[in-house]
Structure 1
Amino acid sequence: MSSPISTDDLQRIFKNLDKDNNGLVSTQELHHLLDKIGIRTTLEELEKLVGRPSLDYVDFLFFYEAMVKVKIAEQADDDDDDLPKAFKVFDLNGDGYISCEELQSVLSKLGLLEKRSGLDCKDMIHEFDNNLDGVLDFQEFKNMMSVPPSSHHSEEI
């Protein structure tokens, strides 16, 4: 099974979460990230799931892969429900469209966008903006999400 997020991106996310640079991500830091991207869980539930107060990078990768496996299993049941939720994470102002600024904001919060990365959100949107209105509507977002990561800009992130 291929991971939706590259190892380089996962390492960047881990480093961004590891605020004190001790090589560990606490369940509190992980909980904060999950909350920022719209995954609601209590700290107690997360601690129970993780089974320890902090994760090193290898544990973080195992946790991520386990979450991907769970998500794939859930997608078989409710694939149609997940995409609207993901769309809402990016549609920060709730207007039904994802603008360049919204895309940039969410990718930055995830630690996937750095000034020197060369990633241009306008180019990303333009690639999937079928009606050329400068924003992504839900159908265009759905099309973008159906393209395997190796086929578009994720390797540049």
Structure 2
Amino acid sequence: MAEAFLKSSPSLKPAALPRASPSFRLRSSSLNSVRLRRVFDIFDRNGDGVITADELCEALDRLGLGADPSELRSLVASFLQPGQSGLNFDAFHSLHRELGDAIFGYNDGGEEEEEDDMMEAFRVFDEDGDGYISAKELQAVLGKLGLVEGRSIDRVYEMIGSVDRNHDGRVDYFEFKNMMKSVPVQIS
């Protein structure tokens, strides 16, 4: 089903994805669940524990990866359990795995690919490529995702301060990596 969706959705083909690479697939067992849960929680706009096709469509649009809503509804429906109105985390994980396999294939590269995944995630926030995540960059990414934290620069500075170990007002790669590995994520 995912492969058919990709063939009919040119905006989601690998060449059209920004910085598309095999590391899109969250392969690392140590970080996979944490990262995917964060993505799930961001996409679950109303916090009800499920992602509807509309929420997924809105999230993809905000990220510049828009998809045809009717095709997306069909894809999401193929992963729904009877009686569900949206994807719970397990169904979202299955959708992610199938899309990852369809786009990039599976390749378990271990620690080296885990490091590549982490660097790519850092680059999403480091929009100017200077090696640091500034308050302005963090606010821009949070805003693109429609998160309320991005509306207040004071809240953004607070977020940076919570991981900024050298107190320079920015987040470097090592601070980012430490944060990603140490922040607990609730799994419902």
TM-score normalized by the length of structure 2? 0.51
What CA deviation, in whole Å up to 9, does each residue of 1:27-52 have, x standing for no partner? 8656545x54xxx8x969xx6xx682
Give the stretch that moved more between structures: 142-151 or 99-108: 142-151
Residues 113, 119 of structure 1: 8 Å contact kept: no
Residues 125, 137 of structure 2: 8 Å contact kept: yes
Residues 40, 92 of structure 2: 8 Å contact kept: no
For residues 109 and 59 of structure 1, the distance between their equivalents in structure 2, rounded to whole angstroms, comes to 22
Quick one: which of 178, 182, 187 aligns to 1:143? 178
Q: Which runs of 5+ in 2 are unaligned?
A: 1-32, 78-83, 102-106
Residues 97, 136 of structure 1: 8 Å contact kept: yes
**CA distance 1:57–1:8, change in 2 (3 Å):** farther
Q: Which structure is larger by alpha-carbon Rg, 1 or 2? A: 2
Aligned-partner residue type, residue 93 of structure 2 = E
Aligned-partner residue type, residue 97 of structure 1 = Y
Does structure 1 residue 25 correspond to structure 2 residue 41?
no
CA drift of 1:149 comes to: 3.6
Quick one: which of 83, 86, 92 aligns to 2:118? 83
Residues 91, 98 of structure 1: 8 Å contact kept: yes
Residues 122, 173 of structure 2: 8 Å contact kept: yes
Does structure 1 residue 64 correspond to structure 2 residue 88?
no
Equivalent residue, structure 2, for 1:154: none
Aligned-partner residue type, residue 161 of structure 2 = H
Aligned-partner residue type, residue 37 of structure 2 = P
| 1:22-61 equivalence runs, <5 A | 24-25=53-54, 31-33=60-62, 36=64, 52=74, 58-59=86-87
Equivalent residue, structure 2, for 1:111: 146
CA drift of 1:150 comes to: 4.2
Does structure 1 residue 134 correspond to structure 2 residue 169?
yes
CA drift of 1:105 comes to: 1.1
Aligned-partner residue type, residue 140 of structure 1 = E
**CA distance 1:75–1:12, change in 2 (3 Å):** farther
**CA distance 1:64–1:54, change in 2 (3 Å):** closer
- RMSD (CA atoms): 4.4
Identity of aligned residues (%): 32
CA drift of 1:61 comes to: 5.0
What CA deviation, in whole Å up to 9, does each residue of 1:54-110 have, x standing for no partner? 669513755532227969x95746211101100000001111100111111111211
Residues 128, 136 of structure 1: 8 Å contact kept: yes
Q: How many residues align?
A: 134
Residues 139, 150 of structure 2: 8 Å contact kept: no
CA drift of 1:4 comes to: 2.4
TM-score normalized by the length of structure 1? 0.59
In the TM superposition, structure 1's runs of 4+ consecutive aligned residues that sit over 4 Å from their partners are 26-31, 53-57, 60-63, 68-71, 73-77, 114-119
